[in-house]
Amino acid sequence: MSTAISTNTQTTVEWFYACNVIDVPPNGGVCVKYDDVQIALFRFARRDAWYATQNLCPHRQQMALSRGMTGTHNGEPKVACPFHKKTFSLEDGRCLSDETECSLTTYPVKVENDKVYIGIMQEA
Amino acid sequence: MKIVIIGNGMVSYKFCEKILSKLPAQAAEIVVFGEEPRPAYDRVHLSEFFAGKTADDLLMAPADWYASNHITLHLGDPVQQIDRSNKTVHSYKGITEAYDYLVIATGSSAFVPPIPGVDKKGVFIYRTIEDLELMRDYAPKAKRGVVIGGGLLGLEAAKALLDLGISDTHVIEFAPRLMPRQIDESGSRILEQQLKQLGLQVHTNKNTSEVLGDETITGLQFADESILEADMLVISAGIKPRDELAKLSGLETGHRGGIVVNEHLQTTDPEIYAIGECALYHGMIYGLVAPGYEMAEVVASHIAGEAQQKTFTGFDMSTKLKLIGVDVASFGDPFVSAETSRSIVFEDTMKGVYKRISITNDGKYLLGGILIGDADAYNMLLQTSKNKVVLPPNPEDVLLGSRGGSQEAGPGVLGLPDDAIICSCESVSKGAICGAVEAGNETLDAVKKCTKAGTCCGGCTPMVKDLITGTMKAQGKYIRNVICEHFAYSRQELYDLIRIKDVRSFDEALDHYGHGDGCEVCKPVVASIMASLWNDMILDKGNDVVQDSNDRFLANIQKGGTYSVVPRIPGGEITPAKLLVIAQVALKYNLYTKITGGQRIDLFGAHLSDLPDIWEELIEAGFESGHAYGKALRTVKSCVGSTWCRFGLHDSVSFAIQIEERYRGLRAPHKIKSAVSGCIRECAEAQSKDFGIIATEKGWNLYVGGNGGSKPQHAILLAADLDSETCIRYIDRFLMFYIKTADPLTRTATWLNKLDGGITYLRNVVINDSLGIAEELDKEMQALVDKYKCEWKEVVESPELRKRFNHFVNAPGAKDPTVKFDNMREQKKAAEWK
Ligand SMILES: Cc1cc2nc3c(=O)[nH]c(=O)nc-3n(C[C@H](O)[C@H](O)[C@H](O)COP(=O)(O)OP(=O)(O)OC[C@H]3O[C@@H](n4cnc5c(N)ncnc54)[C@H](O)[C@@H]3O)c2cc1C
Ligand code: SF4
Ligand code: FES
């Protein structure tokens, strides 16, 4: 899983504790509150992978992605918004079903001792 | 070479397309003059403007199509003069263009009879987008609309008035019947009946003598002295070919209008052609688009000097009325005389169906016919008559379908000869379509792109689809609707596998029969199959996350991310005490309340985390989940029936409650609705339901496969005069058979339409046990019924499941702060989304 990343613009990742592994239904998602930000956290239990994106669906500005259905398209992990079934890649956040739709912000996730942490980019 | 085209309508556009494809690039200089402000648009689908299509949607091609093909297009600039000796044309805006060939494609205008008062405000014609814009702006002021003219266009205009919200609309026809050129007396009578049901009043034999009113129309005066009040009038009394320019320049025109042309579509000046609705060939104006396209082809081929010169020899004027909501079609020669032919007539006044075909005396060939109320067979019959296909030994089969169930009715579209024209608008033959499929175009879109078939009026699409499947089958390709990339099975196959292997979770199904991780398509399908088979709690065994979002939270997600709550109210019967509980819950949790179409009460605007509390209170008071969120039985609506109604034959409410309680919670490929009416007056609208029951003197009539929604369809009688027990047994079998065999998200109506053998087959399975599975179906249904539990009760009682109803995993109980409501009529509504 992603650890601290640094690039030439000096961004570092600050990890915050989101919840415990057992709080997230296997192959499903939950919404995590980080101050005023809502983050959708997804658990792909079958391949032991975790993803996080913004919870807001850019299509109609609905706080709904965490309640969406997860899946894959040609192996690429995705989530389908419960409102109009637009699908978004969990790897880079781009909309898979509509090229003109905005992309999602994605966040790195790490799991340590059954605790789930989400990474927020900090500009130094 | 320089070609000038006058008019930029559908036929002019088609001519440009054809000539471009026949000449080497830029071999000709092409100049087009159009009088209308926009490039050619699809006039045939003009009425869709009222259904939300914009002028741009209707364009045949955008303006830059002309530019990129080096066609000079002058819009809003009618040609005013043709100087034949100098071979030039002059336009209104002062442009002069020389030509080698001139093509007149000026179409026609609406014919307005010289009735006093037609110039009053509120009187319209129906020909251009501008006409429709004027109508749209005027309609909100109008209460009663009238259309003069009961022909094809008039009926379309009348439907447009209804669509514009004028529910009181009348059609005036001068002749003794509607569509006098296409259909006969009996057909017209049935059509009138059907139109009445749509809200259209028809007056035949009416001669309008005056439009009444001062400046604005107030009514119509007829020759028989009667008066009809009206505040909006559309005149659709026929078309008048635009031949004025031709007349002016000395070309021969017909007495009743039209530019006289020969078989090459040349006018009396061989360098000037006329095509489309302005051309008069053998004394006939062809007021349809397909012959116009054919004319465009002939002229393009003539000018391009093609070796195989085509000529125009007349055109089949078969038509099908679109849009109106009643099928009407006529084909071939619908009025053949009795000496040279015999006719077969089918009439069902109850259902409003009338079909008549004329066949040769020896019974071999189809000459023509009329279809009203059900024109599904139109394309097939048209092709059968056009291509002189030999009829089956019992010619009535082509009309009625074969009635044994197994035998095919005629050879079908695959039996047509290769040169049979399937798409008449684009003249695409059967051979061309099959060839395209053989070349690898195996989807409808691919075939459309490759051959252009089905791109104009779309009427041939079902035949094209049949040809694709037929050709692929003939090549030995097996066509299957597989679910998605993760499961290479059809729903029915997967259903059997899951049943045989006793699969209870999505992960298990994926391990055994699928690959990858699944997706939003296969997950709910598998979840629904398991629910239909086992009726286990749907949120158990990790299956919560594979349910459609609404099933996962046992509520319907609404705008803004809140949910609606619908408790079951079987048969629509509720006690005052329970009503009080609903009111209290709604007040306590600040919910918007509305009565639904299914006779229950919907509570909107509940926060996710409030759902378990709300249901706890409802269940406490004796309510159960209404499954409004599921692909499951929704409601069984009922009329008040014999307990109160003076017409009631049986107690429809009690029966509705019994049925709703029997099938509550039943999961299926799609939602299921039902209703019970206490007599033939049908107040519960049972015939619009997936299964509907109507009381008769002797018992119950059971109808199946009905549908409301966007594609309404009446249910079909499965069995008559049943006692309650038999009725329920038949419903058990019908539902179970549907659940086992339907594709995902297919309502019973579509399923039945696609079922090989249709209702006859279904009757055999359900009533005569032709497949020998009746006992199994009965048992399976009984098992599901016995296993029913209220899902919400289970959630309310389980702290583990309740935890799933939090918005924030790390702030349980906190509500989503982005949820916003507005106020309206003393209740709340979801804030408008962007
Ligand atoms: C509401 C409606 C529904 C219809 N439904 C069907 C249907 O279901 N099936 C079917 O087959 N047909 C249908 N038709 C008929 C079909 O639209 C016509 O047959 C077809 O449009 C004829 O094409 P055209 O190019 O000959 O004429 P048009 O489409 O009328 O085009 C002629 C153009 O030439 C322009 N023009 C005229 N004089 C000049 C001039 N001097 N200089 C420059 N421009 C000029 C006109 O303004 C017009 O834009 C329908 C028509 C209407 C109005
Ligand atoms: S359907 Fe018949 S019994 Fe039922 S309310 Fe209507 S009239 Fe009465
Ligand atoms: S709001 Fe997400 S797809 Fe429309």
SS3 assignment for A67-119: HCEEEEECCEEEEECCCCCCEEECCCCCECCCCCCCCCCEECEEEECCEEEEE
CA distance B557 to chain A (A): 8
Cβ atoms of A63 and A38 within 8 Å: the answer is yes
Nearest by CB to B810, which of A33, A46, A74?
Answer: A33
Q: Which residue of A has its CA nearest to B807?
A: A31
Phi-psi region of B678 (alpha: psi -120 to 50; beta: other; left: phi over 0): alpha
A46 touches chain B (CB under 8 A): yes
Query: 3-state class of B777 per DSSP?
Result: helix
List the structure tokens of B118: 């037609």
Decide if A72 and B516 are in contact by the 8 Å CB cutoff: yes
Instruction: Please indicate, yes or no, if residue A9 is contained in any of the structural domains.
Output: no
Instruction: Please indicate, yes or no, if residue A90 is contained in any of the structural domains.
Output: yes
Q: What is the pLDDT of residue B699?
A: 95
Instruction: Please indicate, yes or no, if residue A103 is contained in any of the structural domains.
Output: yes
Smallest CA-to-CA distance from B97 within B119, B81, B109 is with: B81
- DSSP annotation string for B130-150: HHHHHHHHHGGG-SEEEEE--
Question: Alpha carbon of A96 to those of A80, A103, B523: distances in Å?
Answer: 10, 9, 18
Architecture of domain B2-109+241-303: 3-Layer(bba) Sandwich (3.50)
B545 touches chain A (CB under 8 A): yes
Smallest CA-to-CA distance from B715 within B740, B685, B754, B670 is with: B685
Instruction: Spell out the domain ranges in chain B.
Output: 2-109+241-303, 123-237, 412-477, 491-547, 556-786
Contacts of A18 in chain B (CB under 8 A): 809-810
Decide if B516 and A75 are in contact by the 8 Å CB cutoff: yes
Alpha carbons B422 and B467: distance in angstroms, whole number: 10
Determine the atom of ligand 3 nearest the C-alpha atom of A84.
3
Instruction: Please indicate, yes or no, if residue A113 is contained in any of the structural domains.
Output: yes
Domain B556-786 in the same topology as domain B123-237: no
Amino acid identity, position A68: G
- DSSP annotation string for B734-760: HHHHHHHHPPTT--HHHHHHHSTTHHH
Nearest by CB to A73, which of B519, B552, B814?
Answer: B519
Instruction: Please indicate, yes or no, if residue A13 is contained in any of the structural domains.
Output: no
B400 touches chain A (CB under 8 A): no
Alpha carbons B779 and B218: distance in angstroms, whole number: 66
Residue B404: pLDDT band (50, 70, 90) is very low
**What does the pLDDT look like over B490-527, one tens digit per residue?**
888 898 889 888 899 999 999 988 888 999 889 999 99
Contacts of B561 in chain A (CB under 8 A): 62-64
Identify the CATH number of the domain in which residue A65 sits: 2.102.10.10
Cα radius of gyration (chain B): 31
Residue B234: pLDDT band (50, 70, 90) is very high
Matching CATH number, B556-786, of 3.40.50.300, 3.40.50.1360, 3.30.750.210, 3.30.413.10: 3.30.413.10
What average pLDDT does the segment B575-584 reach? 96
CA distance A8 to chain B (A): 34
Q: Is B46 in the pocket of ligand 1 (CB under 6 A)?
A: yes
Q: Are strands B716-722 and B821-824 parallel, antiparallel or unpaired?
A: unpaired
Alpha carbons B192 and B170: distance in angstroms, whole number: 11
Interface test with A, best of B808, B815, B820, B834 (most A CBs within 10 A): B808
Cβ atoms of B140 and B165 within 8 Å: the answer is yes
What average pLDDT does the segment B574-600 reach? 95
Count how many domains chain A has: 1
Residue B797: pLDDT band (50, 70, 90) is very high
What average pLDDT does the segment B366-374 reach? 85
Q: What is the pLDDT of residue B406?
A: 34
Cβ atoms of B254 and B283 within 8 Å: the answer is yes
CA A56 to ligand 3 center in whole angstroms: 9
Q: What separation, in Å, do the N-terminal and C-terminal C-alpha atoms of chain A show?
A: 23
Question: 């005066």: which residue's tokens?
Answer: B221
Q: What is the pLDDT of residue A123?
A: 66
Q: What is the pLDDT of residue B322?
A: 60
Question: Alpha carbon of B321 to those of B197, B245, B373, B813: distances in Å?
Answer: 17, 32, 11, 58
Question: 């909107």: which residue's tokens?
Answer: B604
Alpha carbons B656 and B659: distance in angstroms, whole number: 5
What percent of chain B is modeled with pLDDT above 90?
58
Architecture of domain B123-237: 3-Layer(bba) Sandwich (3.50)
Quote helix, strand, coil % in chain A, to nearest 5: 5, 50, 40
Give the ranges where B255-322 is alpha helix by DSSP (H): 289-303
DSSP B9: S
**What does the pLDDT look like over A79-102, one tens digit per residue?**
999 998 889 999 999 998 877 888
A9 touches chain B (CB under 8 A): no
Distance of CA B645 to the CA centre of its chain: 36
Strand order in the sheet with A87-89: A69-73, A76-80, A87-89
Protein residues with CB under 6 Å of any ligand 3 atom: A 57, 59-60, 62, 81, 83-84, 86
Residue A116 belongs to domain spanning: 20-123
Contacts of B808 in chain A (CB under 8 A): 31-33, 38
A64 touches chain B (CB under 8 A): yes
Q: What is the pLDDT of residue B506?
A: 94
Instruction: Please indicate, yes or no, if residue A47 is contained in any of the structural domains.
Output: yes
CATH dotted code for B412-477: 1.10.10.1100
B16 among annotated binding-site residues: no
Q: What is the pLDDT of residue A6?
A: 44
Instruction: Please indicate, yes or no, if residue A8 is contained in any of the structural domains.
Output: no
